[in-house]
């Protein structure tokens, strides 16, 4: 069938992208796969990890492999919304206001240490992330697709940081955690960094695009052909609804979380070489999809519980549908 051949070609592209990313980015399989799933599902990601773990390198590598534009914004307390979106500047020669687009007019944007900017600046990203357009002085400017935001935050430093608004957190499809690499991976990183031609920065310069921006939009359409049975939809919905009444949570996940689960599960299915979604595809992305959308009760936090462990309990409590 034509659809089967198309999905096989998509799966091949995803596998190739993953392999090329790992030429530069050592280890962190869950993070790399999460980035790819979110990108092709049309979402955005919030990445949490200490400095020096390669978040910027990962974003640059992805933009290189997809042959699209990349910009980076370093968020600071004095960053203004116009520093992100752009602004109108009066042209003395023409006696008119000209629009100067900001760094958000790109394909892949890295919002570094996003929680260092105040809420007013965060709000500048809300419309862009949801609608892929910017409205300035009653004029709307549409971004060139695809648009993918990777935001980072440091979990250790809280001084001089601002909590992200719930409305913005919910805009992120995934929250990915980058831990310290295991010893063998870290040793490999050190070896590559001093090996000349094999250093990540050198390899990055030699990478050739795997897909173009136009091809990305066509590939995204292919995921809509992946079958999702009613039982799988019910399973995803039951997991989301269970978070709202779980004893250790005072805030559960919104319906957007269920939409995220199904969109991401379709990409997971193609990565697994299938044209249909299984409950395992849903389970594979439950933690990154839900961990930033729920909140523990004060009692659970005092007891030292963490969000991921409680979510695992929720997931295990929901009966898996039979195939």
Cα–Cα dist 277/139, whole Å: 41
Percent of the chain with pLDDT over 70: 97
pLDDT tens-place string over residues 234-244: 999 999 999 99
- So what's the pLDDT on residue 235? 96
Query: Does residue 323 carry a pLDDT above 80?
Result: no
Q: What is the mean pLDDT of residues 154-175?
A: 78
- So what's the pLDDT on residue 205? 84
- So what's the pLDDT on residue 139? 85
Percent of the chain with pLDDT over 90: 39
Q: Average per-residue pLDDT in the chain?
A: 88
Q: What is the pTM of this model?
A: 0.90
Numbered ranges of CATH 3.40.50.300 in the chain = 2-221
- So what's the pLDDT on residue 160? 67
pLDDT tens-place string over residues 15-55: 899 999 988 888 888 999 999 999 999 999 999 888 888 88
- So what's the pLDDT on residue 318? 93
- So what's the pLDDT on residue 244? 93
- So what's the pLDDT on residue 1? 45
Q: Collect all residues with Cβ–Cβ distance below 8 Å to 289 and sequence separation of at least 6.
A: 173, 174, 257, 260, 261, 264
Q: What is the mean pLDDT of residues 146-165?
A: 79
45 with 175: CB under 8 angstroms?
Answer: yes
- So what's the pLDDT on residue 137? 81
Secondary structure class of 307 (helix, strand, coil): helix
* Integer angstrom CA distances of residue 200 from 60, 133, 158, 185, 191: 11, 34, 31, 14, 11
Architecture of domain 226-317: Orthogonal Bundle (1.10)
Distance of CA 158 to the CA centre of its chain: 22
pLDDT tens-place string over residues 77-128: 888 988 999 888 888 888 888 888 989 999 999 998 888 888 888 888 877 8
Provide the pairing of β-strand 96-101 with 86-91. Answer: antiparallel
Q: What is the mean pLDDT of residues 296-305?
A: 89
Cis? peptide before 146, omega within 30° of 0:
yes
Architecture of domain 2-221: 3-Layer(aba) Sandwich (3.40)
Cα–Cα dist 150/46, whole Å: 6
Q: What is the mean pLDDT of residues 177-203?
A: 86
Numbered ranges of CATH 1.10.8.80 in the chain = 226-317
Distance of CA 11 to the CA centre of its chain: 19
Q: Would you place residue 4 in the very low, low, confident or very high pLDDT band (cuts 50, 70, 90)? A: low
- So what's the pLDDT on residue 9? 81
Which H or E run contains 19?
A: helix 2-24
């Amino acid at each position: 069938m034509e659809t089967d051949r198309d999905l096989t070609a998509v799966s091949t592209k995803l596998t190739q992208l993953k392999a090329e990313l790992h030429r530069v980015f050592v280890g962190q399989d869950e993070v790399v796969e999460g980035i790819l799933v979110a990108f092709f599902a049309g979402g955005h990601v919030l990445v949490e990890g200490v400095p020096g773990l390669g978040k910027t390198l990962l974003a640059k590598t992805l933009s290189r492999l997809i042959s699209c534009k990349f910009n980076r914004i370093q968020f600071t307390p004095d960053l203004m919304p116009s520093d992100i979106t752009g602004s109108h500047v009066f042209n003395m020669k023409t006696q008119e206001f000209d629009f100067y687009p900001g760094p958000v007019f790109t394909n892949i944007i890295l919002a570094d240490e996003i929680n260092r900017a105040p809420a007013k600046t965060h709000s500048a990203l809300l419309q862009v992330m949801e609608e892929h357009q910017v409205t300035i002085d009653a004029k709307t400017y549409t971004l060139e697709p695809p648009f993918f935001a990777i935001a980072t935050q440091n979990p250790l430093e809280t001084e001089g940081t601002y909590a992200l608004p719930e409305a913005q957190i919910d805009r992120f499809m995934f929250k990915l955690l980058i831990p310290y690499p295991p010893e063998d991976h870290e040793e490999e990183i050190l070896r590559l960094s001093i090996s000349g031609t094999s250093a990540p920065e050198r390899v990055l310069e030699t990478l050739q695009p795997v897909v173009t921006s136009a091809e990305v939009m066509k590939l995204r359409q292919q995921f809509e052909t992946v079958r999702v049975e009613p039982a799988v939809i019910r399973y995803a919905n039951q997991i989301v609804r269970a978070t709202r009444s779980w004893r250790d949570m005072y805030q559960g996940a919104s319906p957007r979380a269920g939409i995220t689960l199904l969109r991401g599960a379709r990409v997971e299915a193609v990565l697994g070489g299938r044209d249909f979604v299984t409950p395992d595809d849903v389970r594979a992305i439950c933690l990154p999809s839900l961990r930033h959308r729920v909140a523990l009760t004060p009692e659970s936090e005092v007891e030292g519980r963490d969000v991921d462990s409680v979510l695992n309990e929720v997931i295990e409590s929901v009966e898996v549908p039979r195939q």
